[in-house]
Amino acid sequence: MKSAIAKRNHRIWATICDIPAGSVASYGQIAEIAGFPRGARQVAYALRKLPDRQSVPWYRVITSSGRIAFDIGTPAFERQSKRLSQEGVVILNGRVDMAIYRWQPDLDELLWKPGVAWDH
């Protein structure tokens, strides 16, 4: 039987998997969609606990202001920037324009998503 934390992490990872390529979502947005209002820190925790070699697109999660959470110039920042750029997301001064790239799922997408069940 999975612990409550493991179940929460899996739910957060599944929500992140729903973010389409070329879009981004904030930590808080992921928390809310996953059913954890005001749980942005829980999303950050779940991402830190993401097992190696998983196909969860962690790089699509950024701060609510559009900033990449890693310091500019660090290897983590470069990895995230590169992955987002490969999907067509423009990054200027470490930020993404949330008005352009923010994932905005509609109710049908949330309720009837064709997404992948993430149960690893």
Q: Is residue 37 part of a domain?
A: yes
Q: What is the CATH number of the domain that holds 99?
A: 1.10.10.10
Q: Is residue 118 part of a domain?
A: no
pLDDT digits (tens, 9 = 90+) for 7-19: 999 999 999 999 9
Q: Is residue 18 part of a domain?
A: yes
Residue 116: predicted pLDDT = 46
User: Over 60: is that where the pLDDT of 117 sits?
Assistant: no
Range of the domain at 46: 4-109
Confidence of residue 2 (pLDDT cuts 50, 70, 90): confident
Q: Is residue 102 part of a domain?
A: yes
Q: Is residue 61 part of a domain?
A: yes
Rg, C-alpha atoms of the chain: 14
Cα 81 from Cα 86, distance rounded (Å): 9
Q: Is residue 65 part of a domain?
A: yes
Please provide the average confidence, as pLDDT, over all residues in the chain: 90
Amino acid identity, position 60: R
pTM of the model: 0.87
Count of domains for the chain: 1
Q: Is residue 115 part of a domain?
A: no
| H-run or E-run covering 51 | none
Confidence of residue 94 (pLDDT cuts 50, 70, 90): very high
Cα 110 from Cα 46, distance rounded (Å): 20
Q: Is residue 97 part of a domain?
A: yes
**Long-range CB contact pairs, 64-72, < 8 A, 24+:** 64/26, 64/27, 64/28, 64/29, 64/40, 64/98, 65/95, 65/98, 66/24, 66/95, 66/96, 66/97, 66/98, 67/94, 67/95, 67/96, 68/94, 68/95, 68/96, 69/27, 69/44
